[in-house]
Amino acid sequence: MDTSASTPAATPPNPRTRTKAIIAIAAGAALLLGGGTTLAYWSTSQVLDVGTINSGDLNMVTSGTPAWTLQGVADDAPATVADPTAVEIVPGDVLTMTQDVTLTVQGDTLTAELAIAQGTIPTGLTASVASTGVTPTAITAADDGKTVTVTVTITFDGATANRDLVNTAFDLGDVTLTLSQLSA
């Protein structure tokens, strides 16, 4: 007997099969690690049983007709003005409007300010606000529903010199009273 008979040699692994297996393993690992799943981290969730919350409100509504007065530099007392568009003011004059305003101020932490939007005041004039019943710079929910008298004072700059601003039409139709929420 010939013992030199040959045993079939083992077939070497196919490099393509090996490459495919490595790619499959890498793809599976990538899916597990980066595919949106977590690895053994605990997690839970709970719906908040709060119910409905509501937003507040901030508004003002004028009522009635505004009343106007004009006080000149040399006048002892202001004079009533029936039509403010017919007034011809001079430096130092003070034109005053009073108007009733009803406030809506609703919000647990709301604080607001009543003011004149400075960008709406014509050049050469200044304006300020006062009111009865509230402090214009500290209006809160305690003032909700109040009707207050707002006084807007418009002053022609007394330091206007020479012939500056003579024959000037000051458009007060753009002067804006604002009620604005204050930040901290």
The pLDDT value recorded for residue 40 is: 72
The pLDDT value recorded for residue 41 is: 87
Going 132 to 133 to 136 to 137, the CA torsion angle's sign is: positive
What string of pLDDT tens digits covers the 184 residues of the chain? 555 555 556 666 666 777 777 787 877 666 666 655 556 789 999 998 889 999 999 999 999 999 999 999 888 899 999 999 999 999 999 999 999 999 999 999 999 999 999 889 999 999 999 999 999 999 999 999 999 999 999 999 999 999 999 999 999 988 999 999 999 7
Whole-prediction pTM: 0.71
Q: Are 146 and 103 in contact (CB under 8 A)?
A: yes
Supply 132's token pair.
């009865």
Q: 11-24: string of b/e by CB count within 10 Å (b at 16+)?
A: eeeeeeeeeeeeee
101: helix, strand or coil: strand
Going 28 to 33 to 35 to 41, the CA torsion angle's sign is: positive
The pLDDT value recorded for residue 94 is: 97
Supply 51's token pair.
């119910």
Closest Cα partner for 112 from 145, 136, 82, 92?
136
The pLDDT value recorded for residue 16 is: 72
Rounded Cα gap, residues 81 and 96, in angstroms: 9
The pLDDT value recorded for residue 67 is: 97
**Residue ranges of E strands in the chain:** 57-71, 79-81, 94-106, 111-116, 125-132, 139-140, 147-156, 177-181
The pLDDT value recorded for residue 122 is: 93
